[in-house]
Amino acid sequence: MSLLKINGLTQQFGGLTAVSDFSTEFQGNELMGLIGPNGAGKTTVFNIVSGFYKPTQGKILFEEKPINGLKPHRVTAMGIARTFQNIRLWHDMSLLDNILISQHYNLGYNLFDLFVRNRRYIENEKRMRNIAMQLLEQLDLVQFMDEKPKNLPYGIQRKIEIARALSVKPSLLLLDEPAAGLNSSDVQELIKLIGWIHKEFKISIWMIEHQMAVVMSLCSWIQVIDFGKTIAQGTPEQIQNNPAVIKAYLGDDQI
C-alpha cells in the first residue's frame, strides 16, 4: 500500500499550465525533495495536494483514498500537514495556543459541551493540552510556551511552524522551503531537526527547497520540475550530474 500516489496531475490557470502530468509515489517513511527553478510549479503541487486548488486533471490517492477536491482542513485531518514558504503562524497568540488550535480536527466535544463545561469538555481540553505539551517538550520549545511567535527569532518561528504541523500527527509532512531566510548556522540546525523528525516520528517528509546543501544532505530521492514538467528524478548524485537539470538551472551554453 502506498502512502501517497499522484497520477497525471495537471493544473491550468486560464491559459497557463502551471503543472502538467506530474506523477509521484510515496511508500511511506521516506524523505523526498522537489526542486526546480523559480516558477517551476513546485508550490502549486503542494497547494494541490493540501487542497487549496482543485486540479484540472489527475488523481491524488492518500492511503488509497482519493483526496482531490477535498477542503484543506479535511486533507489535514486525514494526515497531510504542511508549512509555508513565508511563515504563517498566528502571531498574536501564545505558542501553546498555536499548537492547541491545530487540534481542531480532533476536538472530541461540541458546542453544547463547551457551553455547559461538562466532563467531556474538560477531559478533551486536558487531552489536547497534554498532546501539545508533549510535543513542545520533544522539540525543546517549552520555554517559549507563553511567548507570542512574533517576539521570537526567525529560526525559532520556523521550528514552531514545523512543530505546529506535527501536532496534527501527520503521516506525510510537506515542507515548503523550510530553509528560506535562515542563516547558515540555523540551516545546519534545521537539517538536523528535519532528519531527527524523520527518524523520531517515523513519517514521510516531502520538501521543496532551493538550498542544495539541505536537499542533498537530507533527501534520498529528488524530483526536478521545470515549467510544470518533470525533467529528472533520482538520487542526489544522479541529479547533480543530470545534464537536463544543469540546463534548467544554469541555462543553455548557446547565446
Grid cell for residue 173: 509532512
| Whole-angstrom distance, CA of residue 194 vs CA of residue 47 | 21
- Is position 68 an interface residue for another protein (rule: CB under 8 A)? no
Nearest distance from C-beta of residue 130 to another protein, angstroms = 13
> Which residue, 102, 59, 79, is CA-closest to 174?
79
> Which residue, 130, 181, 133, 135, is CA-closest to 157?
181
- Is position 133 an interface residue for another protein (rule: CB under 8 A)? no
Confirm if 202 and 29 have CB atoms less than 8 A apart.
yes
- Is position 114 an interface residue for another protein (rule: CB under 8 A)? yes
Grid cell for residue 149: 511567535
Go through 199-219 and write b for each residue having 16 or more CB atoms within 10 A of its CB, e for each that does not: eebebbbbbbbebeebbbebb
- Is position 54 an interface residue for another protein (rule: CB under 8 A)? no
- Is position 90 an interface residue for another protein (rule: CB under 8 A)? yes
Binders of another protein: how many residues, by CB under 8 A?
Answer: 35
Nearest distance from C-beta of residue 181 to another protein, angstroms = 17
Please select the residue that binds another protein; options are 7, 57, 107, 242, rule is CB under 8 A: 107
Site string for another protein, 139-178 (x = CB under 8 A): -------------------------xx--x----------
Rank residues 53 and 245 by Cβ distance to another protein and give the closer one: 53
* Segment contacting another protein by CB under 8 A, of 68-76, 178-186, 206-214, 230-238: 68-76
| Whole-angstrom distance, CA of residue 112 vs CA of residue 217 | 50
- Is position 226 an interface residue for another protein (rule: CB under 8 A)? no
Find the binding residues for another protein in span 12-41 (CB under 8 A): none
Dihedral of CA atoms 117, 120, 126, 130 in degrees, nearest 10, equals -160
Nearest distance from C-beta of residue 196 to another protein, angstroms = 22
CA angle at residue 248 from 226 to 6, to 5 degrees?
Answer: 25
- Is position 103 an interface residue for another protein (rule: CB under 8 A)? yes
Please select the residue that binds another protein; options are 61, 77, 133, 145, rule is CB under 8 A: 77
| Whole-angstrom distance, CA of residue 218 vs CA of residue 33 | 8
Confirm if 21 and 10 have CB atoms less than 8 A apart.
yes
Please select the residue that binds another protein; options are 100, 160, 203, 215, rule is CB under 8 A: 100
Nearest distance from C-beta of residue 24 to another protein, angstroms = 20
Question: CA of 129: how far to CAs of 159, 161, 182, 196, in Å?
Answer: 19, 17, 30, 23
- The binding site for another protein (CB under 8 A) comprises 50, 52, 71-73, 76-77, 81-82, 84, 88-93, 97, 100-105, 107, 109, 111, 114-115, 117, 121, 125, 128, 164-165, 168
